[in-house]
A and B are shown apart, each in its own frame.
Chain A
Amino acid sequence: MSRARRPRAKRAPVPRALPAVSKAATGIQGLDEITGGGLPRGRPTLVCGGPGCGKTILAMEFLMNGARRFDEPGVFLSFEESIEDLTLNFASLGFDPRPLTARKMLSLDYVRVEPGEIHETGEYDLDGLFIRLGHAIDAIGAKRVVLDTIETLFSGLSNTRTLRAELRRLFNWLRAKGVTAIVTGERGGNGLTRHGLEEYISDCVILLDHRVVEQNATRRLRVVKYRGSSHGANESPFFIDQSGISVLPVASLGLKHRVSASRVSAGVPGVDEMLGGKGYFRESSILVSGSAGTGKTSLAGYFVDAACRRGESALYFAFEESSAQIVRNLQSIGLDLEPWMRRGLLDIHAERTTTSGLEGHLNAMHRAIEAIRPRVVVVDPISNLISVGTSVEVKGMLARIIDYMKVKRMTALFTSLTVNEGRPEGTDIGISSFMDTWLVLHNIDMNGERNRALSVLKSRGMAHSNQLREFVFTNAGLTLVDGVRDDRGRVLVGSRRAARDMEMTAGGNGRRRSRES
């Protein structure tokens, strides 16, 4: 997804019952949700993990967001990388630190510790470091500080007793200074960090993990502890891409989202009619399943079209067809999405699911949703996404992103390819319980014809039709035809229905059309 993130206003921290701990928002997608608003303000937080787990990037983003979005200047004290390397790293996230440094919103400093270079000749303390850090903080009025990775000191200085005492003093000093700090630590030894930093920093500890599951490298984040605050305790997947870190906000989601009683049109009058005459619930999830060629994409197209007609923005994720292909194909049934795309109401994101792992897709989707903030989302088809991920864990993630859309108050429509035509319920891919409305499209092979029909498998909270309604595509669009029964009460479809229809119209006597119940 090439779309740049739209600059956003400060997001208010998630309200909590007990505002005991003041929090500093990290501005990192998802992390603020998990921690209920950010890191403990004015206290150090330990971020630990193995090499390459994303500690430095997380710390960097915390500072960059602080400087750019929350008006909190920051100091980055690196013990591992030179200023040049740091600048390059920041740049890889699309952040150029130099303008911020010039505006005194950011200060980068490299503390070089060469192992074996220092001769110890007696008692000492780390006042030099204190003075240096204090000077950097005072120079720009910093509110945020990053120490990456302070354990490097252990390689340069051998008197661990002094070092430990001094580190304890350092963290207390940081607390007294009232700066919100991230202290990174390398995983190792018996504890969370090689030198047991968790002993000194117990306000908040975040553990990052980078592991390979089924050939896919996956990153996980877990808040190990957060003193004085509740927090999501689960492992949450996170991603690092060109716009930084995003954590899938999974742990904090509950069944707490508000529900709407208002309704939105499905874009096809007949379908609205089947759903109590008013269409889908706003901010609900809709599943449209059916075998190949039953008109799932068309139904999705109508839904998107109706949203754009209402002036709502829509986001269409296409995993089978290109954007141009979808537009062209829908034009053949009289639906033109192009004007909406030109007016910026509709975005179609087309990508093959095989191009990257499921996590990558979810990440891309997550980012696109965050950037566009659509009212209506279509995922066509979601079954392709499921075929990419196999593990239960991955399915769980998918369920979470569906949940996420709900929390973000979007009306979402998912199409799903049915493999087992006989039992549409068999398409249940572990997500049907998230769906409020489930439409099933059928292929009816009869009398040498192939006809399409639609039924409502479920639709929570509304009266809905129990009928199987035939629908037809014409140049003018998709229409549901009124059910026509023969003398024995059987529903007729295709040419039989047409013949019967004509017969009755010609006869004019007692039209037996079974309309909506």
Chain B
Amino acid sequence: MSERPKRKTRAQPVRRRQAANFYDLRLYVAGQTSRSLAALANLRTICEEHLHGRYRIQVIDLLEHPQLAKGDQILALPTLVRRLPEPIRKLVGDLSDTERALVGLDLRPARRDRR
């Protein structure tokens, strides 16, 4: 699971390609629960392995900022929102299922038997 899948890199303007490669991630949690911590740790591992140097993680604790739940339509926690590259993707759960997390983040094509 170390091989990074090749993304489509047809001739594109440099800016677009950069935007397409950059991952802007937001992790919504509620407090420092073991599940929140597990989610953050799992996310860091995935990012380091697959997105080294081209990602940003923002952790939002809804206990501190409850009003932010509205914007990204957050119901379940933890929720990871991939804000970039577009389209927006939402992953719920503690990201312990790496395979699913990678598929959800578009880092690996969906396998028939998993979906």
Chain A interfacial positions (CB closer than 8 Å to B): 109, 111-113, 117-129, 131-132, 134-135, 153, 156-157
Contact = CB atoms under 8 A, between A and B. Distances in A.
Nearest to A117: B90
Interface in B3-49: 28, 30, 35, 39, 42
A127 B66 CA distance: 11
Given A111-B73, A112-B73, A128 B93 contact: no
Q: Which 6 A-B pairs have the closest CB atoms?
A: A119-B104, A122-B93, A135-B66, A128-B74, A122-B96, A122-B94
B97 to A, nearest CB: 5
Nearest to B30: A127
A123 B77 CA distance: 9
Nearest to A162: B76
Interface in B40-72: 42, 62-63, 66-67, 69-70
Given A124-B77, A127-B30, A129-B75, A118 B91 contact: yes
Contact of A132 (B66, B78, B100): B66
Nearest to B69: A132
Contact of B103 (A109, A119, A156): A119
B95 A121 contact: yes
B101 A121 contact: yes
Given A119-B103, A119-B104, A134-B66, A128 B96 contact: no
Given A122-B96, A123-B93, 16 more contacts: A112-B73, A117-B90, A118-B91, A120-B91, A120-B97, A120-B100, A122-B94, A122-B97, A124-B92, A127-B62, A128-B28, A129-B75, A131-B62, A131-B63, A156-B75, A157-B75
A134 B95 CA distance: 26
A474 B96 CA distance: 96
A355 to B, nearest CB: 46
Interface string B81-101: 000000001111111110011
Contact of B94 (A109, A124, A135, A157): A124
7 contacts: A117-B90, A119-B101, A121-B104, A124-B79, A128-B79, A129-B75, A135-B69
A140 to B, nearest CB: 13
Contacts of B96: 121-123
A80 to B, nearest CB: 14
A119 B75 contact: no
B74 A119 contact: no
Contacts of A127: 30, 62, 76-77
Nearest to B42: A122
B77 A119 contact: no
Contact of A118 (B30, B76, B103): B76
Contacts of A123: 35, 93-94, 96
Contacts of B93: 120-124
A111 B89 CA distance: 17
A82 to B, nearest CB: 12
Contacts of B100: 119-122
Nearest to A163: B76
Contacts of B104: 119, 121
Contacts of B39: 122
A203 B35 CA distance: 33
Contacts of B94: 121-124
B69 A131 contact: yes
Nearest to B87: A117
Contacts of B97: 120-122
Nearest to B110: A119
B29 to A, nearest CB: 9
Contact of B77 (A111, A121, A125, A156): A125
B90 A157 contact: no
Contacts of A135: 66-67, 69
B81 to A, nearest CB: 10
Which residue of A119, A129, A135 has the most chain B CB atoms within 10 A of its CB atom? A119
Nearest to B96: A122
Contacts of B63: 131
A153 B75 contact: yes
A78 to B, nearest CB: 12
Which residue of A132, A156, A157 has the most chain B CB atoms within 10 A of its CB atom? A132
A119 B76 CA distance: 11
B112 to A, nearest CB: 16
Which residue of A109, A113, A131, A135 has the most chain B CB atoms within 10 A of its CB atom? A131
Which residue of B28, B62, B92, B103 has the most chain A CB atoms within 10 A of its CB atom? B92
Contacts of B30: 127-128, 131
A118 B90 contact: yes
B49 to A, nearest CB: 15
Nearest to B46: A121
Given A121-B101, A135-B67, A126 B90 contact: no
B69 A126 contact: no
A157 B100 CA distance: 15
Nearest to A153: B75
A109 B70 contact: yes
A111 B75 contact: yes
B111 to A, nearest CB: 13
Nearest to B31: A127
B66 A157 contact: no
A126 B75 contact: yes
B92 A157 contact: yes
Given A124-B78, A128-B30, A131-B62, A119 B89 contact: yes
B66 A121 contact: no
A119 B98 CA distance: 12
